[in-house]
Each structure stands twice: as C-alpha cells, then as structure tokens.
Chains A and B, each alone.
Chain A
Amino acid sequence: MKVKVFHVLQQIQKKKICYLFIAPFFILFFIFTVLPVLSAMGLSLTYYNVLELPRFIGLENYIQMFFYDDLFIKALLNTLTMAMVIGPIGFLASFILSWMLAELNRGIRTTLVVMLYAPSISGNLFLVWSLIFHGDAYGYLNSTLMNMGLIEQPIQWTTDTRYMMAVVILVSLWMSLGTSFLSFIAGLQGVDLNQIEAGLIDGVRNRWQELWYIILPSMKPQLLFGSVMSITAAFSVGAVGAALCGEPSVDYAVHTIINHLNDHGITRYEMGYACAISTVLFFMMVISNKLIHKILRKVGT
C-alpha cells in the first residue's frame, strides 16, 4: 500500500508540468461540476426546504420516490418515451445528414450546415412553435386547418393530452441536430483518404461497405461524443415541454424527470427530494452511456 502511494506521488512529481496544465480546467470543473453533484447527492439524504437548514432523514426521499410517488413513475415513463424517440432518431439524423453533406462542395455545405444547426443554438427560438401550435383559432396550424375545412373548432395542441406528447417530440426533433451534428461533420472531414483508397484496392465494393469498415471505425471518437450528447439531451428534455405546454403540463402529459425536479425543488421547496431525483437521473445517464459505449465498440467489426 505504502509503496503504491509512493509510486503515485513519484509519478505526479515526474509529470508535474502536465498537472499544472490541466489545473485551471480541473479547478473550475471541480468547483462548478463535481462539487455540486456531490453536494446534491449529500442533500438527497436530507429534508431541505431551502429556507431552513437541511435535516438528515436517511433514505426516506428515495423510498418516497420509488414506492409512493406515482408521478415520478409517470415522469420516468414520459422521459423514456421521449428519450427513445428523440435520442436515436436525432443521433441517426445527425449522422446521415452530415454524411450526405460531406458529399457537397464547400460553399453549399457551409450554408446548409448553418441552416441545420441554427435551431439548436437559437436558445428559446423554439417558442415560434408556440405560435404554430397556438390554441387560438388564429394560431398558424389551427387557422390553416380551419381554412382548409379540416376542423371546425381550434385544437388545443398544447393543453389537450392527446396531442401534447407528439407536439413536444416534433419540436425536440427539430432541435436535435446539435453539437453531435457538428462533430460528425468534422469527423467525416478527418477521415484519411489513403484508407479509403486502400480499401478500394482491397475490394470494398460499395458505399455501405466503405461506411461500415472505414468511415465509421475512424470516426469512433466523434460517434462516442455524439452519443453522449444525445443521451444527456434526451434525458434532460423538459424545457421544450415546459415552454410549450406549461410547467406542470396538463395532467402531467409531458411531465419529464426534469420537470418533476423543478416542480419539487422550485414550486414546492422540497430541495432534498429534488436532489434525490437528480441523483437518480445522474445514475440513469451514466448507465445508459456505458451501454452505448458497449454498442459502439461493435462498430466496424
């Protein structure tokens, strides 16, 4: 044991320049990311109403969450439904679009990339969708449908539980060409042309083989990055639903874990419970990331 510690210290001593270089990032990362995560885990074991000091209550929050809180289960199911649709479709769409864009010449490509990427950097621009799906007879979609004679009464897209989920998924997909999309484009441009040529000589017969055996394996880091981004995005959906359908949404139809967390932490001042929710969410993300890594390891084999 002692020898091991000594060995580690010796290594640090040897590579102190490297540690010095990562120090600025690490210090900030520790203060603003690691520490909050750890303190949230600690607070999840307490009763904490924000205004008074936290009181230790053991696992009560978790027991409440898993055995008594019907709404948590509902939020979990909603989140998984959205994650299942938005995550894979968003990921695949990002890849296929960037693969297609890689074929175009530079000028057109840049223009198209900007156009496709714009929705996800535009912040709250998805609010334009609230005009389209407005429940007023003059909402874009309602008035169009009414003019075409398809409906008589305006449809309440964002408060009628029959339509809310579809609306939120649609808008989320529109925004899903995010950072992963950009990284794919960069990755596709970084593929070594010599390898493709060598592949042609060695008997690659079509573009699919080229994609599977050459392009994808050499893009693994970008794919990994993209998947991590998609998963985090898919699990933390909530902002779109909250903005379009309100928080909490009618009959909790698009209530996700993030909305549930906000509801408890901010509306009801139950910060301890909210921290427990966030801890569970954190581990869900970690586990699904591990799963994706396993799947991606099979690419190109």
Chain B
Amino acid sequence: MSTFTQIKHAIDRVINSYTNDYNRFATSKSFDKNISVWVNTGRDQLQVINQLCNEFSAEHKVGVNLKLVEPGTVMMAVIAGTGPDVNIMGTAGEPVNYAVRKAVLSLNDMDGFDEVIKDFHPQLLTSLTFMGQTYALPETESFPVMFYRKDIFEELGLKVPKVWDDVDDLIHDLQANNMQFGPYVDLYSILLYQNGGAYYKNNGKYSLLNSLNSIKAFNQWSRFFVNYGLPLEYDFLNRFRTGEVPIAIQEFGMCNSLAVFAPEIKNDWAMTLVPGTVKEDGTVDYSINCGGSCAYIFSKCKDNDSSWKFLRWWVSGRTQSSYATQIEILLGEHARYNVASISAFKNQMWNRQQAEILSEQREWAKGIPQVPGSYFVSRHLNNAFRKVVYSNADVRETLNEYTEIINKELSNKRREFGLGEN
C-alpha cells in the first residue's frame, strides 16, 4: 500500500468514527414494527444478542434496535424521553424503584404471564414484585453455596459442616492450623431466613430488623467476628487457592472463576450446601438468599404488544439457553452465564455433582423484597454490624436504634408515593 492510500484510509477511519455508532446494532431487515432495546453488557455479549434478535425478528416480524449503554444512562434517557422500550440485564433493584414512580409497566396482565413465570424459581420474582404486581422477569440467578478444599479436609481429618453448630467446632480446628473459615458478605440474610425471619412486615411498611428472629440471626452473624475473629475482608479466590481459607460460603458463580483462576486445584475442591439450622421439629433449614439480573418494559414504550413479545422471547428457556451456550463458546468457562430459566439451566454444562448441589440449594432460595426505601435497610444493617463488631455495642439496643431510623424512611417514602401511612 502506498503512503497516500494509507493516509487516505486513516482519514476515512477518523471521519467514519464520527458517523458510525459502534454501540448500536440493528436487525438486518426492516419491519413495520420496531422496538428499541438497551443492554448493559460487553460488546462480545451484544454481538451474540444481536444474532439472536435476528432470529426473533424473522419469527415475529418485529425489528429490534439494540444499543449498548452504561448503567446510569437508561435513567437519564427515560427522563429526557429518549429512553428505550425494553431494558435487559438490569439490576434487581431497578424495576420496583422505577415502578413506584410509574416508569415501568406491570407485567401481570400480559398475555401468558402465568405460563412464563413457571420456568423460574418463584423466589426470584420476590425482588421484582411489589404490592402483588410483577415489574420484571429474571434473566440470571445467583445464590451462595459452600466451597471447600477436599485435599485439606482429608489431610486434617475434618468433617464438612452440615449445620452451624458444626461450623463452631470447625473454626476451632481450622484456627489451630492457622486457617480461617471464609464468611459470606450477606451472612445475615442466610441466618435470618434460616431462623424463620423476614425483612419486612405488611408489604414493606415496617422493617423487622429488631424482631426476635432478626436479633437471633444478627447475634449469630456478629459473633463470628467478635468471638472467632473471622476475617472481615478477604480475597476468596487467592486464599482458597493457597488454602488459607479452605472453606468459604460464596456465590455459586465463583466456581467458574475458580476453574479458570486456580486450575492446579481443579480436582481438590467441591461445592456443597450452605450450613443449615436445626429447627424445633428436628429438620434442617438450608435457606439462603438469592438475586440476579432482570429485564423489564418501560411504561413510555410505544408498542406494548411487541415489547412483551420480545421480553417473553428473551427470557424463554430456548433463547437463554442458546445465548448461554454461545457466550460460553465465545468467552470460555469463566464467563458462564448463570441462567435463571430452569429449562435452560438443565442444558448447561454443569457436571452432575454440581448440578445436583445447585438444584438442591436453589430449592431453599428466598428472595429479598424490594420496597420504596429498602436501600436504608442494607445501609443501616451495615452500620449496626460495624458498631457491634468494632465497639462491642449491645445488639438489641443498636438494632432498635437503627430500626427506628429505617421505619422513618420507609414511612416517608410511603407517604411520598401515596401508599398509605403507617
């Protein structure tokens, strides 16, 4: 190539970079009906989604304009009136928060809604539902399981704990060997649900942070740090690999990271159920929290029917399954997409033992409800926790104090949205 053509090519590229929108994909053929869909993901993922959308367009005669956006953009675009019809890969808190401000469509009355949700674990809808109305459909799921190093447990002759009482004993044995038990970020939720507690009363009117079950769970949670000195912060992948933390509770997605990050211990670890709580009747409760990303329709959308068709198609087992497969082929095992759809999950490349544990643990999953003002709960739960762990504050008193603050905010928000005062 001569210098001249090279220069010309470079100039063309600069000019094209202004006219070509690299963040926009559209289905190849044009249709009478079109919907715009915004995605918050990577470019590789978007390419796969675009291919799938082409199939959707061919089948339903609806064109799809895909656009890659940053998380904060959707909100601003909706305000400006230039928002999309459908948003996919949104975070779980968004739909309810937008819905109380009338920005998201309720899906309950959509054609075939009851059928669509049969494919999901019902608890995945908890954080997407408010006052009986569901505002989004789940795409991915995540919940904790327990990881442990088989080789270390065998060498030290330790037993994998089944209930929390076993964990107490295990911590002693581990610490005698200069090792630690790896706690989970949201241990409170697990313990709360296993103690039969709940986050809210009356559809989010009151916080139950100072209820008996909650105090019990909180005590159990903070005790691990106050009495046993478990690490408040630790890097799971590294510590698990070196063996300093040979057992930890983590999101199950970590097993994909482990497979890539620590191939040398590939056959030396396993997943199992999170420790449970023995109930009065002798049975064991293995409850855990769950969450995941979701897809929803904005109330300003121009074509409800086509948008719903798209949403339904997107979260269906078939679409999710082929998306998950293609992503894994393209990016590798660490990028495994943790589908929420149960029929799609069955098609994924989990080995038998993993699939069994995941299915069993999923049965115990419980969602955390989203209500107006629920950001205050996680915030003040953290404040209460730090106060108790760092300065040995009284648990009951601290929780009472923060519950009052939370309830004030909850009732403020209810008044703001005309949901009836407490």
- Real binding pair: yes
Q: Is the CB of A50 within 8 A of B79?
A: yes
Q: Is A297 an interface residue (CB 8 A)?
A: no
Asked if residues B235 and A269 are in contact (CB atoms below 8 Å), the reply is no
- Give the distance in Å from the alpha carbon of A41 to the alpha carbon of B382 in the complex: 34
The answer, among B103, B231, B387, B390, for a CB contact under 8 Å with A51, is B103
**Is there an interface contact between B101 and A251, defined as CB atoms closer than 8 Å?**
no
Query: How many chain-B residues does the 8 Å CB contact rule pick out?
Result: 23
Surface stretch bound by B, among A6-14, A16-24, A154-162, A205-213? A154-162
Choose one: B97, B232, B234; the contact of A269 (CB below 8 Å).
Answer: B97
Closest to A139 in B: B233
* B41 lies within 8 A of chain A by Cβ: no
The B-contacting residues of A in range 214-267, CB under 8 angstroms, are 248, 250-251, 267
| Number of A residues with CB within 8 Å of any CB on chain B | 22
Task: State the CA gap A146–B382 with chains docked (Å).
Answer: 26
Residues of B within 8 A of A33 (CB): none
**Could you tell me which residues of chain A, from 132 to 155, have a CB within 8 Å of some CB in chain B?**
134-138, 153-154
Residues in B with CB closer than 8 Å to A153 are 229
A136 contacts which of B97, B233, B373 (Cβ < 8 Å)? B233
A-B contact pairs, 6 of them (CB 8 A): A51-B79, A135-B233, A154-B232, A156-B233, A159-B386, A160-B390
Q: Which residues does B use to contact A, with CB under 8 Å?
A: 75, 78-79, 97-98, 101-103, 229, 231-235, 373, 375, 379, 382-383, 386-387, 390, 416
User: B390 touching A161 by the CB < 8 A rule?
Assistant: yes
Measured in the bound complex, the distance between the Cα atoms of B101 and A164 in whole Å is: 36
B386–A154 touching, CB < 8 Å: no
Within the complex, what minimum Cβ distance (angstroms) separates A152 from chain B?
9
Which residues of chain A are within 8 angstroms of B75 by Cβ–Cβ distance?
50
The complex places the Cα of A256 from the Cα of B35 at a distance, in Å, of: 42
Q: A103 on the interface (CB 8 Å rule)?
A: no
Q: Which of A248, A267, A268 has the most CB of B within 10 A?
A: A268
CB <8 Å contact, A51 and B416: no
Are A49 and B375 within 8 A (Cβ)? no
Asked if B232 contacts A135 (CB within 8 A), the reply is: yes
A248 lies within 8 A of B379 (CB): yes
Partner of A156, one of B229, B379, B390: B390
Shortest CB distance A276–B (Å): 16
Whether A136 pairs with B235 at a CB distance below 8 angstroms is: yes
Contacts A162-B390, A250-B382, A267-B375; is A52 near B233 (CB within 8 Å)?
no
The answer to whether B386 and A51 have CB atoms under 8 Å apart is no
Which residues of chain B have C-beta atoms less than 8 A from A52's C-beta?
A: 101-102
Q: Across the interface, do A51 and B233 meet the contact criterion of CB distance under 8 Å?
A: no
User: In the complex, A138 Cα to B234 Cα: how many Å?
Assistant: 8
Per-position 1/0 for A117-140, Cβ under 8 A of B: 000000000000000001111100
Would you list the 5 A-B pairs with minimal beta carbon distance, nearest first? A51-B101, A135-B233, A136-B233, A51-B103, A250-B386
Q: Which residues from chain B contact A136 at a C-beta distance below 8 Å?
A: 231, 233-235
